Amino acid sequence: MRTYTLDEIRKSFASSTDFNEIFDAFQAAMNQDVLDIEIYRLLFWNHALSVDEVRLFGEKLAAKIPDAAYDVYLWLASVFEVTQGETDNYELAINYYQKASAARPAEPDPYLDACDCYEPDLNIPPLQTLIEFVRKGLDHVSNPISLYKRLSHLYNLAGDSRQSEHFRRLADEADTPGGDKIQSE
């Protein structure tokens, strides 16, 4: 296999429209142990790639560099959150937010970022999916105040004022000086 310079890899990832050329550059980067994750961001944002191709590259990268899996999954989620496709990319975004949370369960960002992609007019991703995901995060995030607040908001959007109030109260109590981690119902 041909050896690529970092500049050649960057150029291919950023501007090539030929899948085979991009794939060859990716394989070379993997074989050459290119660990600069920023280079791979260019690949994820290459508009010539299909959703499945972006997923292929992201999954291979996460497998090759497990320490970077969290960041890779967050980037993939953000790519799918803002791109339009033939299918509902919000489902893919949620899938990758879930993978990011599995890679680092104590990090609140995947849970919160997943909520930010909610489209109320279309109810996508479904509110119940978001609520369940954020509730799972309560078991792992050391300071769940932001998750409590987000759950209060989500339940409010769902029309469940009792649960909305419950999580608002938990957030207020946990936010007071000396407030310990409070378990949800």
Domain ranges for the chain: 50-175
Asked whether residue 184 carries a pLDDT value surpassing 80, the answer given is no
Cα torsion 61, 62, 67, 70 to 10°: value is: 130
pTM exceeding 0.75: yes
Grade residue 88 by pLDDT with cuts at 50, 70 and 90: low
Q: Give the CA distances from residue 150 to residues 14, 52, 109, 127, 171, in Å, rounded to whole numbers and listed in that order.
A: 36, 31, 12, 12, 9
pLDDT tens-digit series, residues 105-127: 999 999 999 999 888 888 888 99
**CATH domain 50-175 topology:** 1.25.40
